[in-house]
Amino acid sequence: MTDFVLVASDLAKQYRKPLTGRRVDSVRGVSFEVRRGEIYGFLGPNGAGKTTTIKMLTGLIAPTRGRMEIFGRVVPCPDAMARVGFLPENPYVYPYLSPREFVSLCGRLSGLSGARLGDRVTQVIARVGVAGAIDRPARALSKGMLQRVALAAALVHDPELLILDEPMSGLDPVGRKEVRDMIVEERQRGRTVFFSSHILTDVELLCDRVCILRRGEVVVSGALSDLLAEGKRRSEITLAGASSELRSSLEGLVSGAHSVGESLVMEVEGDAAVRTVVERALASGARLQSLTSKRETLEDLFVREAL
């Protein structure tokens, strides 16, 4: 049994524009690995290639080049996909079906039948919070409720790997928290979760590792604990009475240094650099007015690397 549930190697997708025939690279050599039992965040601005990559992973479109494996099997592979639950970015729930009927249909397509199917459908619909509308036509449901129904369809066959494309889309704050809790519960049950999202606070709360795309290429990849480590923490230091000699000696240690009245305000990255700046400042006779720690967030990293 491999430690990697999902592997993408040098994945690329090229389209041709219908009128001009010009080639457009949507995804350019994307590679990543998702470990068993982790929550993996797949991030990037609009047009970065996230949904295209997910469509290739799930067999909805063919890659121009590259290799994909799920549970050690080369994709597309029906046996591997039978163990995957998929929530697309814009799920379509047949408007003339009720949530019970739609989720039952998805369960039958995944091999469930009989009493087990009925019990499982009722269970997952209650779990996503749509039990009160279980027999109401889908056309009468809100966008957020339809998102929940589609999530129930992804969960109905108890998959080992969940691939979720914008699972919090259309949900209110309460719904977002419920989906977050559900993702954590799935991980606690031994499931692996791979999801894309624009809600970076949710990603930072949930994910063990992330991959950030920009223009179809991976620009950041790794464990959040490493990417947002203490050594990357930024601090703002304000000094009074900083001499020109002190300012010159700090040029390689600080960034964004500027004067505010008679004070010098600067940004410093990392605890070691902060100690050095403060020691030099006090030794030169300057006065420390303030020291404010600014731990880097996932949003800071995203804005710096992906935009």
Looking at residue 201, which CATH number applies to its domain?
A: 3.40.50.300
Q: Are strands 39-43 and 254-260 parallel, antiparallel or unpaired?
A: unpaired
Percent of the chain with pLDDT over 90: 67
Q: Check whether residue 176 and residue 79 sit in a common domain.
A: yes
Residue 100 resides in a domain: yes
In a domain, 307, yes or no: no
Interatomic CA distance for residues 107 and 159, integer angstroms: 11
Quote the pTM value: 0.83
Q: For the segment 255-292, what is each residue's pLDDT rounded down to a tens digit?
A: 878 888 889 998 888 778 888 999 999 999 999 999 88
Considering the domain architecture, whether residues 15 and 36 belong to the same structural domain is answered as yes
Average pLDDT of the residues in 2-18: 91
- What gap in Å lies between CA 13 and CA 216, rounded to an integer? 9
Q: State residue 59 phi and psi, 5-degree precision.
A: 80, 10
pLDDT tens-digit readout, 213-239? 999 999 999 998 888 875 566 788 999
Residue 246 belongs to domain spanning = 230-295
Bridge partners for 9 per DSSP: 67
Residues 166 and 249 in one domain: no
Nearest-angstrom CA–CA distance, 207 and 196? 11
20-44 as b/e, with b when 16 or more CB fall inside 10 Å?
Answer: eeeeeebbbebebbbebbbbbbbbb
Q: Check if the beta carbon of residue 211 is closer than 8 Å to that of residue 39.
A: no
- State the pLDDT at residue 21: 82
Q: Which residue among 175, 196, 227 closes a domain?
A: 227
d(CA 301, CA 41): 14
Pick left, alpha or beta for residue 72 (phi over 0 → left; psi -120 to 50 → alpha; otherwise beta): left
Q: Within this chain, do residues 29 and 166 fall inside the same structural domain, yes or no? A: yes
Task: Say yes or no: 95 and 109 in one domain.
Answer: yes
On whether residue 260 sits in a domain, the answer given is: yes
Both 287 and 155 in one domain: the answer is no
Number of structural domains (the chain) is 2
Dump pLDDT digits (tens) for 108-139: 999 999 999 999 999 999 999 999 999 999 99
